[in-house]
């Protein structure tokens, strides 16, 4: 199972939202590059970066940060936020993203996302499905996409979809544990798709449970910033699995 720390960006700084609410923003670090270096130093291989400014603006806004992180580390960077057209996708790839997370565009323009899956390859394209009250939310979690996550995955299987990040928004930033039934059911229903759990990780016990339940990747955000999970904890876990 891959452990993937998260860096959410507003104005080039590391922040966290609570339940996807931009009004509940807390700044944790002014230097995302230094944060990324610390993750790399403890053995982390993949980093999850979300451009929250870009998600609202419908175009990437923090690509300079992406360039700096990609230059300073050898991390496999998955990038999301503001990828609404091919130019935006290319700009993120050119800035150093190894993988691109597409959420809103997959709902709003399914043929374009299907084209990207085929053109750029399923190993590079990740479906981002952020769920609120059973439905996928889009545009920085501000709109109801009107479709459930299972329907969305089914739609892109013929195009080779092999990666999905699913966030239960009600759990995100709450530090009360993930919605495990959601992720285990998704992974069991779609065995050819690598499901990444996102939202609610509060302790190493949650990570252990995800591993035991066969989840293939876990995103960890606020639990690290709040000291519930330390870099030493991550390092020990990576050495022991």
CATH code of residue 215: 3.20.20.70
* 8 A C-beta contact, residue 236 and residue 42: no
Predicted TM-score of the model (pTM) = 0.93
**Beta partners for residue 177, in sequence order:** none
CA atoms within 13 A on the CB side of 186: 32
User: Residue 25 and residue 7: Cα distance in Å, rounded?
Assistant: 13
Name residues whose C-beta falls within 8 Å of residue 232's C-beta, 6 or more positions apart in sequence.
42
Q: What is the pLDDT of residue 140?
A: 63
Residue 16 CB neighbour total at 10 angstroms: 21
Active site (annotated) includes residue 130: yes
Q: What is each CA distance from 72 to 17, 32, 101, 166, 229, in whole angstroms?
A: 26, 11, 22, 28, 24
Instruction: Tell whether the torsion through CA atoms of 91, 75, 6 and 213 is positive or negative.
Output: positive
Residue 45, token pair as written in the block: 């291989």
How many domains does the chain fold into? Answer: 1
**Residue 18: predicted pLDDT:** 74
- Out of 130, 168, 206, 233, the active site residue is 130
Q: Which pLDDT value is given to residue 142?
A: 64
Which residues of the chain fall below pLDDT 50? none
Looking at residue 24, what is its pLDDT?
A: 80
State pLDDT tens for residues 157-196.
Answer: 999 999 999 999 888 777 889 999 999 999 999 999 999 9
Beta strands in 133-236 (DSSP E): 135-138, 143-144, 163-168, 194-198, 217-220
- Residue 134 is predicted with a pLDDT of 78
Distance CA 223, CA 30 (A): 18
For residue 124, what are the CA distances in angstroms to 13, 115, 180, 190? 25, 13, 26, 18
From first CA to last CA, the distance across the chain in angstroms is 9
pLDDT in tens, 128-155: 999 988 789 886 666 777 899 999 999 9
What domain range is 81 assigned to? 2-240
């Amino acid at each position: 199972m891959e452990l993937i720390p998260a860096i959410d960006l507003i104005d080039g700084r590391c922040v966290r939202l609570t339940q996807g609410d931009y009004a509940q923003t807390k700044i944790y670090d002014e230097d995302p590059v230094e944060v990324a270096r610390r993750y790399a130093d403890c053995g982390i291989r993949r980093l999850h970066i979300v451009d929250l400014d870009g998600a609202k603006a419908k175009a990437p806004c923090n690509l300079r940060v992406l360039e700096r992180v990609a230059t300073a580390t050898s991390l496999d960077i998955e990038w999301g936020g503001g990828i609404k057209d091919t130019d935006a996708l290319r700009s993120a790839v050119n800035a150093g993203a190894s993988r691109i997370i597409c959420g809103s565009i997959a709902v709003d323009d399914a043929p374009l996302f299907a084209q990207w899956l085929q053109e750029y390859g399923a190993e590079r394209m990740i479906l981002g499905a952020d769920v609120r009250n059973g439905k996928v939310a889009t545009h920085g979690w501000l709109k109801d996409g009107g479709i459930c996550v299972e329907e969305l995955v089914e739609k892109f299987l013929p195009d080779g979809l092999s990666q999905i990040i699913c966030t239960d928004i009600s759990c995100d930033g709450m530090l009360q544990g993930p919605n495990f039934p959601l992720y285990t059911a998704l992974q069991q229903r779609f065995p050819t798709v690598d499901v990444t759990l996102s939202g609610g990780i509060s302790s190493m016990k949650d990570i252990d449970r995800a591993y035991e339940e066969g989840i293939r990747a876990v995103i960890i955000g606020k639990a690290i910033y709040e000291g519930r999970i330390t870099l030493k904890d991550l390092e020990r876990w990576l050495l022991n699995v």
